[in-house]
Amino acid sequence: MTESPTAGKSGSSPQALPTTAWTGHSPFGRCVYSFLWGLSRILGVALFGFRVRFAEPLPLTGGLLILSSHQSQLDPFLLGLAIDRRLSSLARSSLYRSRLLAIVIGALDAVPIDRNASMVKAMKTVIGRLRDGAAVVVYPEGTRTSTGQLGEIKSGFALLAKKAGVPIVPVAIVGAYECWPRTQLLPQSGRIRLEFGRVIPAAEIAQLDEREIVKLCTAQLHTLDATARRLRAGQGG
């Protein structure tokens, strides 16, 4: 596995913000994303001792489902800092009630999800984004952890991956809970580690049923979480 304090490429120095083949964003969106990427990079290194390790390089183009543990509000920024392409995250539709927030969220390629509407409609939206070649972040626990530990993995992501025909990459985030638990108003400094697993190809996913996909990804997330905790504690790696 490769490791870097700020970048996801083996043996490389921090890179300029890369581009992706997916062009669903506006010039304004690119500016906002570039600004936040730069800010996250500075904060990630200066405040959070950010470290990331990859089992293998991630695809830089084409649809990709990023299956992440969910520790804090920092998670989208940490993932955006670690991965060399633009990401789309799911966002509650209620956040769009604020005009300013709606503009910013839209510029960041967020996928609006109305929890009070049909889940089928929400899933079709995500599947469409994946088929268009976007990298979409899904938090299968459904919400931020309240204990710092990995919660129950819900199964909805498996259908997304199968219907969209895209690969899955699981990632465990450790340390973000200690820096910004959900009971705390503002974040504090600390050490955060992201541990990425192998990319599960779309062809492999197509051969599995949804239950098998959930079992495979759950096992990987638990292994990655345990490894990230051990390495964060300085017990190897």
- Write out pLDDT tens, residues 58-71: 999 999 999 999 99
- Provide the percentage of residues in the chain whose pLDDT is more than 90: 53
Question: What gap in Å lies between CA 164 and CA 129, rounded to an integer?
Answer: 9
Determine the pLDDT at residue 59.
96
* Cα 93 to Cα 98: distance, rounded to the nearest angstrom: 10
Residue 174 parent element (H or E):
strand 168-174
Identify the pLDDT of residue 206: 97
% of the chain surpassing 70 pLDDT: 78
Can you tell me the mean pLDDT for 49-55?
Answer: 93
Dihedrals φ, ψ of 35, to 5°?
-65, -50
- Out of 87-91, 132-136, 219-223, which region has the weakest mean confidence (pLDDT)? 87-91
- Give the domain ranges of the chain: 25-232
pLDDT at 44 over 50: yes
pLDDT tens digits, one per residue of 122-134: 889 899 999 999 9
pLDDT at 119: 77
Edge-to-edge strand order for the sheet containing 51-54? 2-4, 51-54, 193-196, 168-174, 64-68, 135-138, 88-92, 111-113
Mean pLDDT estimate for the chain? 83
Just give the CATH number of 25-232.
3.40.1130.10
